[in-house]
Amino acid sequence: MSTIFTVAQQKALRKTELLVATACSNPPGALTVETFDQLSDSLCKVADLADFVKVGHPDPAFRKAAEKACINIGTAVEKLNTNVDLCMSLKKLLENKEVLETLDPDTRKVAELLMFDFEISGVHLDESKRGKAVSLNVNLLDLNNEFLNGSLLPNRIEKKALPEHIRHLFSIDGKSIQIGSLHADSPNELVREAAYKIFLYPNSSLLHCLDDLLACRNELAKLVGYETFAHRALKRTMVETPETVMKFLELLTDLMPWDHPYFSSAVRTASLYSPYFSLGACMGGLNMLFSQLLGVSFQNEQPMAGEVWSEDVRKLAVFHETEGLLGYIYCDFFRRPDKPHQDCHFTIQGGRLKEDGEYQHPLVVLMLSLPPPTHSTPTLLTPGMMENLFHEMGHAMHSMLGRTRYQHVTGTRCSTDFAEVPSVLMEFFATDHQVVRKFARHYQTGQPLPKTLLSCLCESKRICGAADTQLQIFYAALDQVYHGKPQNRSTTDILKEMQEKFYGLPYVPNTAWQLRFSHLIGYGAKYYSYLMSRAIASMIWRQCFQKDPFNREMGERYRREMLAHGGIKEPMLMVQGKERIQTLPCKVVAKCILWFGVEQKKTHLNNLLNPCLFHKEIQKWPGEYYCHLLEVIGFVIGFQAVDSPLFSLYPLQGDGGFMGVCPTNLHVFCGFGEGIRLCPSLHPVEGALGVWGPGSFVKGCQVPVRPKQELGSHCQQ
């Protein structure tokens, strides 16, 4: 089996050489970009496949071979990213205005993105430093692997260390017990506690690995000219800098309450729901949803001999009612020994327009760890599993519906801030009563999900929303600090501090959760993306689907304006379309402020001016409001990066209320018309009612104020 990968690698590397020669010898033009995309396609085809096989294949020999292939291709990519001749061919193109003008916008954008890859890899350095950058990168490939593998391994403990009556709930291996997850949905408190302490028990070699990895990332970032690894990672994202991310997180934390209705009723009563969520019913639900929204349906297809890695993998062909075949999804849904407990989506082949004019169909794998069916019962999903299925399917459809010319920017190959938007949006569908009602059927009786259970399920999502957001803020902050300036203390000490600051629950001694934080590898300094994506997904849901989640017109718009473009368009522009940018945030903010009770104006003004009362007020909000708040703040940060002047002052619907955002420190505040002085220059806003976020609640901050006519036009919506 290792030979298969060796052959594939050699083929890809030979093709690479030819393509590099072509790129370097041709005159600059569209062909240059096409050649680069072919280059990336041929390497990605091997690397992406290997990326999946090293995690998902049941045969350890395959996994090993794939791991080796990943490292070899990764090394080749790093060398290409510092190949000066190759970079020059692109540079010549980007510097040639005449030729540049003949290119279509997509081609130009891809050229810029490719150039950026060269820049952050250190192509501008002298030869010895370039060599150093390559070797650091290669070293990182190893460290990444080591950490990723270690983070997924179960911890072992002697059988007799656990009380007898709970042993059978874990997997027993001779004299020892293996614990490979937190068992968070176990109804037994002792099981959860044991799993927490054992699964998170620190492993010293993995702690070292993490230290080395963070140090190596830092060294690399400095070498290529960035202050920290986070600064390098955040270039070209919506937020741009680590400072903005931290502000985003702190702003959110300030607005979150500390109480945790953590175990939602739906989690505790998962067994009540499962009979209604058979895998068949859920897949049927997805099929119905996609066919109504987008005219897309799934068909089971028989894989060819040797095409799949395990017998229980299903192959789905995705068809559009008029466009025909869009691509294939391989569904690897069931638990297997040795298969990581991880829900994820792998791109195996990206879509692109081939040289012969045909479209290269995207191929993806969806990996879940569902219980396999037995001879008497189908696979039954808990509400959490059902939501995860919808989430991962969102990623798959992002790939299926993308129709970019270049694979470099197809589907999920977009800015990390945006990649989770389509999947998180699917979670909204998965917990909407109009959607769930249509597919949840008892697997024995065919009865629909009882109304009380249905509303309880959709409600619990909202309650969990705030607590879950809090947890995500903590993860994101931890990721930022790890990738910021090197610190003279252990990763566990940092975890402890961040957990207390951002999460509020105390650290449990002798645990090292960071060693299970496998997203540190893939996301490195971009874990905040999950929250950012959620803010945007929430906005899309409300704007397009909340009223009617089956609306075809909205579905088509969503596909046309967002999914089809992959990473080629500025995410924030996709969310809105330039012309609508100005009016939407105020609608949401208006809502937030109405909930505040500010519609009764003066009576509540004092409340807003008093930070303590402000916090008390917030405590009373039902969970769902945090989503809205998240939306607002996400928007603030997102739009700032796209078009900052717009963000100075937002009028609210109705009579003269406004929301302001200080362009320099991201304070958000709101007020009413009487406070606005109609002066076009930078002017303090008097009577601003409250500043949300760190800093003073009482004082407004300096913002440019817009003329009345302009404000007026924004108000009409």
What residues are annotated to the active site? 392
Taking the complex as a whole, the smallest distance from the CB of residue 392 to Zn ion amounts, in Å, to 7
* From 9-17, 124-132, 159-167, 421-429, span contacting Zn ion (CB under 5 A): 421-429
Q: Is beta strand 649-651 parallel, antiparallel or unpaired with respect to 658-661?
A: antiparallel
Distances (CA, A) of 390 to 336, 608, 612: 21, 40, 40
| Cβ distance to Zn ion smaller for residue 62 or 346 | 346
Taking the complex as a whole, the smallest distance from the CB of residue 432 to Zn ion amounts, in Å, to 19
| Cβ distance to Zn ion smaller for residue 423 or 511 | 423
Taking the complex as a whole, the smallest distance from the CB of residue 45 to Zn ion amounts, in Å, to 22
553 neighbors 543 (Cβ within 8 angstroms): no
Taking the complex as a whole, the smallest distance from the CB of residue 415 to Zn ion amounts, in Å, to 14
* From 91-99, 260-268, 422-430, 602-610, span contacting Zn ion (CB under 5 A): 422-430
* From 244-252, 360-368, 418-426, 611-619, span contacting Zn ion (CB under 5 A): 418-426
| Cβ distance to Zn ion smaller for residue 245 or 419 | 419
Angstrom distance (rounded) from CA 635 to CA 582:
11
**Which positions from 496 through 525 interact with Zn ion, judged by CB under 5 A?**
none
* From 279-287, 419-427, 496-504, 631-639, span contacting Zn ion (CB under 5 A): 419-427
| Residues 6+ positions from 466 with CB-CB distance below 8 Å | 256, 257, 623, 626
| Cβ distance to Zn ion smaller for residue 82 or 423 | 423
Taking the complex as a whole, the smallest distance from the CB of residue 472 to Zn ion amounts, in Å, to 12
Q: Is beta strand 324-334 parallel, antiparallel or unpaired with respect to 363-370?
A: parallel
Angstrom distance (rounded) from CA 195 to CA 444:
34
Q: Which two tokens stand for residue 657?
A: 């209320």
**Which helix (H) or strand (E) segment is 353 a member of?**
strand 352-353
362 neighbors 350 (Cβ within 8 angstroms): yes
Burial of 520 (0-12, 13-18, 19+ CB in 10 A): buried
Q: Which two tokens stand for residue 404?
A: 């970019």
Residue carrying the six token digits 């007799």: 160
Half-sphere exposure in the Cβ direction for 673 (13 Å, CA):
11
Q: What are phi and psi of 49, to 5 degrees?
A: -60, -45
Q: What are phi and psi of 477, to 5 degrees?
A: -65, -40
- Rounded to 10 degrees, the C-alpha dihedral 287/289/290/291 comes to 80
| Cβ distance to Zn ion smaller for residue 391 or 667 | 391
Q: Is 423 in the site for Zn ion (CB under 5 A)?
A: yes
Site track 371-410 with Zn ion (rule: CB under 5 A), x = hit = ----------------------------------------
* From 96-104, 131-139, 291-299, 417-425, span contacting Zn ion (CB under 5 A): 417-425
Angstrom distance (rounded) from CA 638 to CA 486:
28
The CB-nearest residue to Zn ion is 423
* From 171-179, 195-203, 420-428, 561-569, span contacting Zn ion (CB under 5 A): 420-428
Taking the complex as a whole, the smallest distance from the CB of residue 395 to Zn ion amounts, in Å, to 6
How many Cβ atoms from other residues are within 10 Å of residue 451's Cβ?
Answer: 10
Taking the complex as a whole, the smallest distance from the CB of residue 571 to Zn ion amounts, in Å, to 15
Q: Which two tokens stand for residue 498?
A: 């961040």
| Cβ distance to Zn ion smaller for residue 394 or 657 | 394
Distances (CA, A) of 607 to 497, 597, 615, 624: 32, 10, 10, 22
| Cβ distance to Zn ion smaller for residue 370 or 691 | 370
Nearest to 643 by CA among 700, 575, 562, 696: 575
* From 28-36, 423-431, 532-540, 592-600, span contacting Zn ion (CB under 5 A): 423-431
| Cβ distance to Zn ion smaller for residue 423 or 480 | 423
| Cβ distance to Zn ion smaller for residue 468 or 617 | 468
182 neighbors 192 (Cβ within 8 angstroms): yes
# binding residues, Zn ion (CB under 5 A): 1
Taking the complex as a whole, the smallest distance from the CB of residue 344 to Zn ion amounts, in Å, to 7
Q: Is 16 in the site for Zn ion (CB under 5 A)?
A: no
Residue carrying the six token digits 């950490």: 147
Taking the complex as a whole, the smallest distance from the CB of residue 391 to Zn ion amounts, in Å, to 6
392 neighbors 369 (Cβ within 8 angstroms): no
**Which positions from 677 through 706 interact with Zn ion, judged by CB under 5 A?**
none
245 neighbors 235 (Cβ within 8 angstroms): no
**Where on the chain is the footprint of Zn ion (CB under 5 A)?**
423
